[in-house]
């Protein structure tokens, strides 16, 4: 879910940049600087309150509540395997989230990897969920609201 929110953040930032219209004062970071990760962390911390309140100038909705129509996630880590489907989900509590750390990696072929550690003290999710998975020898199959 948080990946969805950060993807929206990245998409909107990229959209503002490509249009040449920075309606928001955003912090920019130089890729070759010594403190690039610290700069990115500061930039995201600075911009985050603007995004969770919503940005009417670009029709970006508020993130509290976050309305999520459909999503499917797969988690596979050895002994734990799960497939989760979310339908018509409402998420509240993202406004209280705090960044712990931001790490960047530049790989070959100009691949940029961004890892953001976030602490969300309380998050409430309401909607329809289907979960199927295994935890070692135990099987899980659940549907519900």
DSSP3 helix / strand / coil % (the chain, rounded to 5): 30, 45, 25
Which overall architecture, per CATH, does domain 27-144 show?
A: Super Roll (3.15)
Per DSSP, 20 falls in state T
Residue 128: how many CB atoms within 10 A of its CB? 13
Closest CA to 53 of 103, 18, 94, 15: 94
By DSSP bridging, strand 80-92 and strand 66-77 are antiparallel
pLDDT, tens digit only, all 145 positions of the chain: 555 555 555 655 555 555 555 455 677 888 777 888 888 888 888 888 887 788 787 787 888 888 889 999 999 988 999 999 999 999 899 888 888 888 888 787 778 888 888 888 998 989 998 999 999 899 999 887 7
């Amino acid at each position: 879910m948080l990946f969805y929110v950060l993807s929206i953040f990245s998409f909107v930032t990229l959209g503002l940049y490509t249009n040449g219209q920075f309606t928001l004062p955003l912090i920019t970071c130089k890729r070759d600087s010594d403190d690039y990760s610290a700069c990115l962390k500061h930039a995201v911390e600075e911009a985050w309150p603007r995004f969770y309140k919503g940005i009417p100038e670009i029709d970006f909705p508020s993130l509290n509540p976050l309305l999520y129509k459909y999503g499917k996630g797969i988690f596979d880590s050895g002994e734990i395997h799960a497939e989760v489907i979310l339908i018509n989900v409402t998420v509240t509590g993202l406004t209280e989230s705090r960044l712990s750390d931001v790490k960047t990696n530049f790989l070959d072929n100009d691949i940029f990897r961004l890892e953001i550690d976030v602490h969300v003290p309380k998050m409430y999710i309401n909607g329809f969920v289907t979960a199927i998975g295994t935890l070692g020898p135990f099987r899980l199959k659940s549907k519900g609201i």
